[in-house]
Structures are given as C-alpha cells and as structure tokens.
C-alpha cells in the first residue's frame, strides 16, 4: 500500500533525528546497499544548520570552550531542544539553561551567564525600533513629582545579572578588549540596548544593576533608588541616572497620575 | 509600517542579481554597483526591527527586490503555519518585492523546524497537497508565487511521475510560476544519473519567472559514485554556466540570481559572478512573461 504523505513524513523526520537509524523504507536504493550516505546528506544539513545557527548566536561561548567542544555541545543541545520556528534567530533560547545543567561545561562556571548575555544581545538586535528620550526630558517634570516617575524602556533593553564579570569576559573573548583575563571574583550586571542600529553592552556596577532592575519592574524612580542605596551604601543616583539615559534605554517618562498613590 | 521614502519600481528586470548578505550591506551602499536587483531570504527579515530592516529599507530604495522564502514548508502534509504566512504577507506589503518564491520541499514536521529543504515523493497525493498550499499562499499574499525545483540526494519508491511532470502540473493547476534553479538541475541530474539536458528540454520554460545559479560541492555516495551537494559555498561551476547559457538561448533573457550562502566571498567576487551571468543575458531578448507570469 502507498504510505500517505503524512505517515511518510513522520517516518522521514524520525529517521533524520536518529543519527544511526536506517533510511526510511520508501527511499529507493540506486545501488545494492541502502543509501545511508545519501540520506546522511540531509542529516548533516540539519545538524550543521542548527550548530551554525548557535555558533552565530553564541560566539563568546564558542571562544570560551573552543570550537570542537562547542559544536559537540550544540549538537547535543539541538537534539534535546530542536528549533520550533522557521525563524532560526528564535532558536537557542534555552542554551543557557542547558549549559547550566550540562556537566561537561561545569568547569567554566560563568558559561551559562555568558550565554544569557549573548541571547539578550540577539533579542536586542531584532527588537522593534523606537526613539529614546534624553535626560533633559526629566526637566519637564515638576521637581516635587520627579521621585514618582516611572520609565518605559526601549524594546531592545535587557538586563543580565550575574555574579561573574560577564561583560569583561565577553569583551575579552570576542576581541573587544585588550584586557588580561578578568578577576572572576568581581561581579557585573550587563545592560544590553540597541538605541539605533548597533547593539551596545555596558557593565553596570555600584548598585546600577539593582536600580535598573527596580525601574524595569515598574518601580518609581525614588523606590528603585532606595532599594539600590540599601544594597550599595555609596549608590550615586545622579551618576547612574545620567548613565542610564546615555545608553538610550529610556523610551518614555511616565508622570505620576494626579491623585494617585504617592 | 510603510517605507516613507519612495522606492524604485518593484519589477525585477531580466538582468542578473545576487542574494543579499549582511556582510555586503556597507559595500553595496557605498559602491552602488550597477546590478539589476537583489534577493533576500524572507525569514532573515522577520524580526521586529534593527539592522536587517534598516539596511533592507535603504537597499530597497535603490534596487528592485525579490523575496525568497525558505521556511514555508509547502511540501508538508500538515497545514501551512498561519503565523508564518502572515509574517510573509507583512514583508510583502512592506517591501513590495517584484517576485516571491518558495521551494518544492518541506521543512517543518509537527512543530519541529528541520532546518533543511526536504524532498517529497512525486505522486497524486503530494500534487494535491502542494497545489492546495500554493492556492492558499497566493490567496493570502494576493499575488502569484514562483515554485523552485529542488536539489535532491534520494528518490522515493512512491513517486509516480517525474519532477518536471510534477512541477508542470502544479504550475498548470495553480497558475504559479516556476523558479528554475539550473544548479539544482545539474546536481539532481548527477545524483540520480539522469540527463540535465533532457530535464531542461522537458521543462515548461514558458512558466519560468526567475533563474537561480549557485555553487555545488563534490562528495561520493554509498557506491563510491559522485554525489553533488547543493552547498552554495563557491562559484558557479563551468558545466552549470553551460546549462544556463543553453537555457537562456532557448527561453530568452530572464531575471537570474547568483546564490552564495556559505563561505561568503567579498563583494567584488560575488559581483563578478553576477557580471558573468549578465554577459550571457546580454544580447538575448527579454523573455516576455506578461500574461504567463503576472508580476
């Protein structure tokens, strides 16, 4: 009986993802043996496209572990977390999670955080376009209301928090800095934002990560600053506020609603 | 979002174009090469914003654009991905491409994207499925599409017609045009021990709206025989140029695209490939596609 297209494609897809399995039954044999090498062209095309997509998204992870280890890891990842969209730039969002629980990668404790940073950079690269507002816009707010404003962030804005100096490590292993290997006892949060075409990555320290995290959760300027100051006694609000605006991550300043809770 | 600056005409001329690569954005915009048109993989421009749209918008202001889908999975037995179809519609509305094409292949099974263009058996059931899907695409996009002949490494016992018979029938039933990939013809003919000339003699050239050229890599099969891989990783091979020349002599000048997707060379090397295609197109009258191919 002629297998229906649906059954045939189910068998074909299953064979594709089973590296040592037989070729599907209805594939013709041009010679005397089953055409494994021919079928493997498809298997290789699939695996290579998956691995290449991950290598394009995670160059710093690849630089940290070496190409051979990276490709073997990427292959294992793709088996467990295959692409679920024809948009390949959506593939690989679980890579950091996978690395955090992948014993062979445990020797590089910050690997998963570097992967989270690179995933954030890819999201920023494709995020919607929007116009940032300059810090001068805060001058339009009556002084007594400034503490109650909330910020809306540029769609490309991502905060990646880490107990490792992830921005220094990332810059080092992607050739963006000449620095010697960083002191991994220091920690850095990363602000990723793409105000125009280029994706920018900035290290946050001195409570700036805590401050931005509060603002991104929708806290008022005053509450976010208070939380940051609780964590870091020398937190410098005006320095970090102008630092945030300089990155272009603020898209709008929302004034407090008249009569709303202060 | 409409493009604010006026774009030049959408229609793809019967000249050579190349597949647009991010690596060449800046060179193209500064050199402003005398090239007929560009083609992009639709899926690379389905993000919300940023560099891809920035550069494509600037390039579209100066050149006609063709949109080439690689992820619609037209040959799958399962229904088309409606979200993906709507994303395509949005891109078509935004960039007003002169041509839209996709592959006679499948790439999605259930919700897994298989990252390759997989072959289908050529029989009545596949024909019906493919025609239904093309009807749906053409209805949603509100325009004609072109369907590309695949490069294949295996064949199916369940095929009951030839690839050319299959493609001819799809074009006849749906009114879609065909994208003739001459390198794919060469690759598949070598891999299945068939004549590329016989394939082209039988091909309904009057339905062809676009030609693709690309490079292939040699490998070997299970019997130790030559197996060609459609790798798009090098220059177009001499016998493929010869087949192309023969096709143009017989069909007339047609929009011709050079694809180079892996180990991407510098801009000038890729542009030289387009010039080589243009040298063959030069002097041939443009194939009249009005009526047969509604642009």
Between the alpha carbon of residue B225 and those of residues A31, A99, B188, B219, B237, the distances in Å are 10, 41, 14, 8, 19
As a whole number of angstroms, the distance between CA B181 and CA B196 comes to 12
Q: Which two tokens stand for residue A51?
A: 């691995």
pLDDT digits (tens, 9 = 90+) for A74-94: 999 999 999 999 999 999 999
Say whether A89 and B47 touch across the interface (CB within 8 A): yes
Burial of B102 per CB tally in 10 Å (0-12, 13-18, 19+):
buried
pLDDT digits (tens, 9 = 90+) for A213-246: 999 999 999 999 999 999 999 999 999 999 999 9
- A129 vs chain B: nearest CA distance in angstroms? 5
Residue A256: is its pLDDT beyond 90? no
Residue A259: is its pLDDT beyond 80? no
Say whether A27 and B153 touch across the interface (CB within 8 A): no
- B149 vs chain A: nearest CA distance in angstroms? 17
Q: Name the residue among A2, A26, A83 with its Cβ closest to that of B115.
A: A83
Instruction: Tell which phi-psi region holds residue B263, choosing left (phi > 0), alpha (psi between -120 and 50) or beta.
Output: left
Inter-residue contact B183 to B230 (CB < 8 Å): yes
pLDDT digits (tens, 9 = 90+) for A107-122: 999 999 999 999 999 9
As a whole number of angstroms, the distance between CA A35 and CA B223 comes to 8
User: Any chain B CB within 8 A of the CB of A56?
Assistant: no
- A154 vs chain B: nearest CA distance in angstroms? 12
pLDDT digits (tens, 9 = 90+) for A171-218: 998 887 655 556 777 899 999 999 999 999 999 989 999 999 999 999
Residue A35: is its pLDDT beyond 90? yes
Burial of A259 per CB tally in 10 Å (0-12, 13-18, 19+):
exposed
Inter-residue contact B200 to A14 (CB < 8 Å): no
Q: List chain B residues with CB under 8 Å of A45.
A: 115-116
Residue of chain B minimizing CA distance to A13: B109
Q: Which two tokens stand for residue B202?
A: 């039988």
Q: Which two tokens stand for residue B85?
A: 């179809």
Q: Which two tokens stand for residue B113?
A: 């994207």
User: Any chain B CB within 8 A of the CB of A12?
Assistant: yes
Say whether A27 and B156 touch across the interface (CB within 8 A): yes
Which domains does chain B possess? 16-281 (3.20.20.150)
Q: Alpha helix locations (H) across A81-219?
A: 95-100, 111-126, 166-173, 208-216
Q: Which two tokens stand for residue A192?
A: 């990723």
As a whole number of angstroms, the distance between CA A187 and CA A261 comes to 36
For a pLDDT cut of 70, what percent of chain A falls above it?
Answer: 95
As a whole number of angstroms, the distance between CA B160 and CA B165 comes to 10
Say whether A26 and B114 touch across the interface (CB within 8 A): no
Q: Name the residue among A13, A26, A37 with its Cβ closest to that of B222.
A: A37
Query: H or E stretch including B226?
Result: strand B226-229
Domain boundaries, chain A: 1-108, 128-262
Say whether B118 and A42 touch across the interface (CB within 8 A): yes
pLDDT tens for the 295 residues of chain B, in order: 444 456 677 899 999 999 999 999 999 999 999 999 999 999 999 999 999 999 999 999 999 999 999 999 999 999 999 999 999 999 999 999 999 999 999 999 999 999 999 999 999 999 999 999 999 999 999 999 999 999 999 999 999 999 999 999 999 999 999 999 999 999 999 999 999 999 999 999 999 999 999 999 999 999 999 999 999 999 999 999 999 999 999 999 999 999 999 999 999 999 999 999 999 999 788 886 654 554 4
């Amino acid at each position: 009986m002629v297998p229906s297209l649906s059954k045939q494609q189910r068998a074909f897809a299953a064979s594709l993802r089973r590296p040592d399995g037989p070729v599907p039954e209805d594939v013709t044999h041009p010679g005397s043996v089953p055409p494994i090498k021919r079928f493997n062209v498809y298997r290789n095309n699939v695996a290579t496209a998956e691995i290449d997509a991950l290598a394009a998204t995670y160059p710093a992870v690849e630089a940290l572990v070496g190409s051979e280890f990276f490709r073997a890891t990427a292959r294992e990842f793709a088996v467990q977390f295959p692409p679920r969209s024809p948009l390949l730039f959506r593939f690989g969002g679980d890579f950091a999670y996978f690395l955090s629980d992948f014993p062979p990668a445990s020797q590089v404790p910050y690997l998963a955080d570097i992967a989270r940073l690179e995933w954030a950079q890819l999201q920023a690269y494709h995020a919607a376009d929007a116009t940032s507002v300059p810090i001068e816009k805060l001058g339009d707010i009556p002084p007594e209301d400034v503490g109650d404003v909330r910020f809306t962030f540029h769609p490309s804005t991502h905060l990646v928090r880490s107990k490792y100096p992830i921005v220094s490590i990332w810059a080092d292993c992607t050739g963006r800095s000449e620095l010697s290997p960083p002191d991994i006892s220091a920690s850095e949060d990363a602000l990723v934002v793409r105000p125009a075409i280029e994706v920018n990555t900035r290290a946050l320290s001195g409570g700036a990560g805590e401050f931005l995290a509060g603002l991104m959760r929708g806290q008022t300027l005053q509450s976010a600053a208070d939380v940051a100051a609780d964590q870091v006694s020398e937190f410098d609000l005006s320095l970090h506020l102008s630092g945030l605006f300089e990155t272009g991550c603020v898209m709008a300043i929302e004034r407090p609603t008249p009569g709303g809770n202060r | 979002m409409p493009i604010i600056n006026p774009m030049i005409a959408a229609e793809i001329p019967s000249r050579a174009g190349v597949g647009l690569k991010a690596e060449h954005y800046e060179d193209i915009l500064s050199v402003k090469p005398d090239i007929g048109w560009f083609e992009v993989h639709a899926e690379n421009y389905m993000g919300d914003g940023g560099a891809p749209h920035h550069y494509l918008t600037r390039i579209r202001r100066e050149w006609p654009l063709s949109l080439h889908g690689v992820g619609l999975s037209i040959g799958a037995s399962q229904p088309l991905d409606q979200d993906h179809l709507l994303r395509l519609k949005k891109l078509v509305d935004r960039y007003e491409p002169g041509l839209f094409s996709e592959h006679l292949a499948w790439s999605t099974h259930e919700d897994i994207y298989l990252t390759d263009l997989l072959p289908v058996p050529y029989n009545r059931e596949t024909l019906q499925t493919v025609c239904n899907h093309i009807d749906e695409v053409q209805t949603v996009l509100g325009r004609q599409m072109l369907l590309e002949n695949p490069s294949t490494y295996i064949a199916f016992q369940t095929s009951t017609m030839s690839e050319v018979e299959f493609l001819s029938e799809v074009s006849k039933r749906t009114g879609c045009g065909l994208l003739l990939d001459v390198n794919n013809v060469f690759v598949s003919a070598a891999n299945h021990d068939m004549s590329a000339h016989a394939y082209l003699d039988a091909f309904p050239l009057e339905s062809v709206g676009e030609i693709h050229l690309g490079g292939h890599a040699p490998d070997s099969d299970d019997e130790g025989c030559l197996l060609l891989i459609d790798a798009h990783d090098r220059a177009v091979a001499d016998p493929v140029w010869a087949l192309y020349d023969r096709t143009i002599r017989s069909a007339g000048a047609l929009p011709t695209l050079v694809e180079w997707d892996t180990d991407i060379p510098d801009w000038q090397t890729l542009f030289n490939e387009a010039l080589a295609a243009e040298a063959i197109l030069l002097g041939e009258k443009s194939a009249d596609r009005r009526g047969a191919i509604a642009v």
